[in-house]
């Protein structure tokens, strides 16, 4: 697990938080999460309460790693934040897909973990946040072609959610298929439902973010190694 944590760090610069602390925070987050899940099954908590508490349990580790990355490379720390945030968003979409295809839930019952956030405006705000941060990251990583591709995809995704919100305000009915889902604006869409399509979107965005992070992290490590070798 220490190796997994180390993979997110850009190097071994001065002022880093000891990796033993990361390991302790990781173990604490895992143990607390397990206890929360146990309490969820025993006491019958609402799943959104469980989800929020688990997020809180992981925040010390997330921000500790982010702080260390920021000390060495601020742009990489911002990229790390987007990677982590989109990972949580992806999990929410995949949970909704699990509810639909495995648990057999339908309609409003298939709302993911934090169901009260599964509304059109929240989706729009989230995608606006991702688009904004990816746009800001282009200032620091303007030579990264994959980041430009992600930016273009994020623009498309944003436009689709703007359209969905527009249709929601016009009709009063949420869940519009958007551009490409079944029944969508573009030629009736593809033979795939909106929840499934947007789960795929979330996975693709997270995969691109992880790839971009690894690429930029390697550049930072190589630069640090070169500087050390020539010092």
Domain boundaries, the chain: 1-72, 74-231
% of the chain residues with pLDDT over 70: 92
Tokens 């469980």 appear where? 50
Phi, psi of 186 (to 5 degrees): -90, 100
Average pLDDT of the chain to the nearest whole number: 90
Q: How confident is the model at residue 15 (pLDDT cuts 50, 70, 90)?
A: very low
213-226 per-position pLDDT tens digit: 999 999 988 887 87
Does residue 211 surpass a pLDDT of 50?
yes
Q: Please state the rounded mean pLDDT for residues 50-75.
A: 93
89/221 Cα distance (integer angstroms): 29
DSSP-assigned beta bridge partners for residue 184? 188
Rounded Cα gap, residues 17 and 69, in angstroms: 10
Give 178 or 42, the one with higher predicted confidence: 178
Do 212 and 150 contact (CB within 8 A), yes or no?
Answer: yes
The per-residue pLDDT for 228 is 77
pLDDT at 145: 96
Looking at residue 51, its pLDDT comes to 92
Give the pLDDT confidence of 101-157 residue by residue, as tens digits: 999 998 778 888 988 888 999 999 999 999 999 999 999 999 999 999 999 999 999
pLDDT at residue 16, rounded to an integer: 52
pLDDT of residue 3: 57
How far are the Cα atoms of 40, 49, 67, 101, 102 from residue 54, in angstroms, in the given order? 11, 9, 20, 24, 23
At residue 14, does pLDDT exceed 70?
A: no
């Amino acid at each position: 697990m220490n190796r997994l944590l180390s993979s997110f760090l850009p190097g071994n610069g001065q002022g880093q938080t000891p990796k033993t602390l990361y390991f302790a925070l990781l173990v604490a987050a895992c143990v607390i999460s397990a206890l929360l899940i146990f309490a969820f099954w025993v006491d019958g908590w609402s799943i959104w309460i469980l989800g929020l508490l688990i997020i809180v349990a992981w925040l010390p580790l997330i921000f500790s790693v982010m702080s260390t990355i920021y000390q060495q490379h601020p742009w990489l720390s911002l990229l790390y934040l987007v990677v982590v945030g989109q990972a949580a968003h992806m999990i929410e979409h995949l949970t909704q897909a699990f509810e639909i295809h495995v648990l057999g839930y339908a309609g409003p019952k298939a709302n993911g973990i934090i169901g009260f956030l599964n509304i059109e405006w929240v989706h729009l705000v989230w995608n606006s946040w991702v688009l904004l941060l990816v746009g800001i990251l282009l200032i620091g990583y303007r030579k990264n072609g994959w980041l430009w591709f992600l930016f273009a995809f994020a623009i498309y995704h944003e436009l689709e959610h703007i359209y969905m919100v527009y249709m929601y305000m016009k009709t009063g009915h949420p869940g519009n298929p958007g551009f490409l889902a079944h029944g969508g604006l573009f030629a009736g869409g593809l033979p795939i439902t909106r929840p499934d399509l947007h789960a795929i979107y979330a996975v693709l965005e997270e995969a691109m973010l992880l790839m971009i992070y690894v690429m930029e992290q390697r550049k930072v490590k190589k630069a640090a190694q070169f500087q050390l070798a020539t010092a």
